[in-house]
Structure 1
Amino acid sequence: MKKQKSTGPMIDMSDGTIVNLPNNRKRGKSLDQYKDEQLGKEGTPSRDLFELELKMELIQEFIRDARKKRNLSQQELGDIIGVNKSQISKLEKKYDNVSISLISKVFKALNARVKISIQMDQNEFELA
């Protein structure tokens, strides 16, 4: 077996996999460069939509994981906050028409604190 020449620092991943990072990054692109090319620069409608959808997916994934950690079914969580199981299912399955009110109720039922920060011009408003 031929030994491969190391081109950069070795990183030992938690699963035991060893990843070799190249020192020459000029050939590759940063994540920001890739997003700029594929989605548009920050502030463009396509990039803003992508970022919003990504944030919503993270919130939905957090809700599903928190519900499961608390051993609640979708039906049980729905009963606690007074909505149908189908609304909880839609919320967890990337349904894009979700109200802040529903998200707030879900987090309250899961004993999670929600903090929303709004920045506009030189003003900042925070809901906690």
Structure 2
Amino acid sequence: MATKEIKTYSLAEMKDRYIGKVGTADRDEYEYELSMDVLGKMIKLARQERRLTQEELGKLVGVQKAQISKLESSTNSATIDTILKVFKALKAEINFNVKLEDNFVKLA
């Protein structure tokens, strides 16, 4: 009995096939939502490591508990200013990397 070889695909190939190629509107939206989800999880993890409630973090940042909840669940697009305030209140370092064509610009 001959064994059938199973075709495997990379994650990049699957995204290209089912979401769209890099640079398309659907792919850009997917990548943005994924980034916001990861950011929300990072905020929640840092808050929990600092043993803060959402309400306590909100007070430190100057926003309501609901805004922190929305940030953590990625249901809200936050401004960079708010994100920076949240990480500052958590005493956490955040870095942004911007890629301009083939060159990276690091913003700390």
Tell me if both proteins adopt one fold, taking TM over 0.5 as the criterion. yes
**1:30 & 1:51 partners in 2: Cα distance?**
17
TM-score by length of 1: 0.73
Deviation at 1:121, TM superposition (A): 4.5
- 1:54 partnered with 2:42: no
Q: Structure 1: which 5+ runs fail to align?
A: 1-23
AA at the equivalent of 1:51? E
Listed as ranges, the gaps of 5+ residues in structure 2 are none
Residues 85-124 of structure 1: pairs in structure 2 closer than 5 A = 85-121=65-101
Q: CA RMSD in A?
A: 1.9
TM-score (norm 2): 0.85
Q: Helix, strand or coil: the match of 1:43?
A: coil
- Give the equivalent residue in structure 2 for 1:21: none
Counterpart position of 2:107? 127
Q: Structure 1 residues 65, 122: CA separation in 2 closer, same or farther (over 3 Å shift)?
A: closer
Larger helix proportion, structure 1 or 2?
Answer: 2
In 2, the alpha carbon distance for the partners of 1:75 and 1:111 equals 17
Equivalenced residues, count:
105
Quote the residue 1:74 is aligned against. Answer: 54
Separation in 2, partners of 1:70, 1:117: 25
1:29 paired residue number: 9
Aligned to 2:22: 42
Higher RCO (CA-CA < 8 Å; seq separation 6+): 2
Letter in 2 for 1:98: A
Identity of matched residues, %: 42
